[in-house]
Amino acid sequence: MGNRLEGKVAIVTGAASGFGEGIATRFVEEGARVVIADMNGEGAARVAHHIGANAVAVTADVTDVADVEAMVAAARGNFGRLDILVNNAGYTHKNGPMLDIDEETFDRIFDVNAKAIYLATLKAVPVMEETGGGVILNTASTAGLRPRPGLTWYNASKGWAITASKSMAVELAPKKIRVNALCPVAGETGMLHLFLGEDTPEMREKFRATIPLGRLSRPEDMANAALWLASDEAEFITGVALEVDGGRCV
């Protein structure tokens, strides 16, 4: 337990499990109050109940503007402000040939991985300005920096998130809003089987072999990286795509 985010209010999307749950839990441990936002309302409620009084659950589809408005309103209504936005919700197609991905899946990937960042930024930035600034963290991926075959359209969406983060950082700097991207390697989350194509010991070992530190990422890895970037310790860090990848992108 610490106080690195004491007095701060955060929204974490995709927070019912995986990286998002890890980030939200770590933030509260360091003094923040957090809105747990996820399409999985039951999962969000479970995480909020586990965390305690400093968390509130919101059922939200991050691609729907009304849900995004409700998510931001929950931060303001329950905790009075908004200092940190973590756009963590993500979606992917199953590893396979790019020509086999249908249009509906393609649209969903870019709705969740790109449009959601746009919508949340539109609604969060004015609220952050009221208190003099804030921090936006966008979960991108090593896929946007060093793509693997078989995930072409997902890779492209994460490349978008990285470029958007850098451009947002420049434009929002005068408002005292820092923007950074987190780039994890494949991790122990609910989407792992999609990244692998099939979740077998052999496929896991194939992926691990490309990571110099010899393992997949874990929620606590992302949580600790997000904590630092969201804290005042990183007050001069903006426009960075931080690789949380055990050396995968070296």
**What is the domain-level CATH number for residue 47?**
3.40.50.720
Quick check: is 147 in a domain?
yes
Quick check: is 151 in a domain?
yes
Residue range(s) defining the domain that contains residue 226: 9-244
Quick check: is 249 in a domain?
no
The catalytic residue among 19, 154, 160, 195 is 154
Q: What are the start-end ranges of the E strands in the chain?
A: 9-13, 33-38, 55-59, 84-87, 134-139, 177-184, 241-244
Encode pLDDT of 131-161 as tens digits: 999 999 999 999 999 998 899 999 999 999 9
Contact 47, 25 (CB under 8 A): yes
Residues of the chain with confidence (pLDDT) below 70: 1, 189-191, 193-195
Please tell me the distance from the alpha carbon of residue 83 to that of residue 139, in angstroms, as a whole number: 17
Phi, psi of 180 (to 5 degrees): -140, 160
Quick check: is 148 in a domain?
yes
Quick check: is 176 in a domain?
yes
Pull the structure tokens for residue 211.
């990571």
Quick check: is 133 in a domain?
yes
Please tell me the distance from the alpha carbon of residue 60 to that of residue 157, in angstroms, as a whole number: 21
The structural domain count of the chain equals 1
Quick check: is 100 in a domain?
yes
Residue 193 has what pLDDT?
Answer: 67
Please tell me the distance from the alpha carbon of residue 25 to that of residue 48, in angstroms, as a whole number: 9
Residue 246 has what pLDDT?
Answer: 95
Stated pTM of the model: 0.95
Active site residue 154: yes
Please tell me the distance from the alpha carbon of residue 226 to that of residue 246, in angstroms, as a whole number: 16
Contact 92, 16 (CB under 8 A): no
The helix/strand/coil state of 33 is strand
Quick check: is 4 in a domain?
no
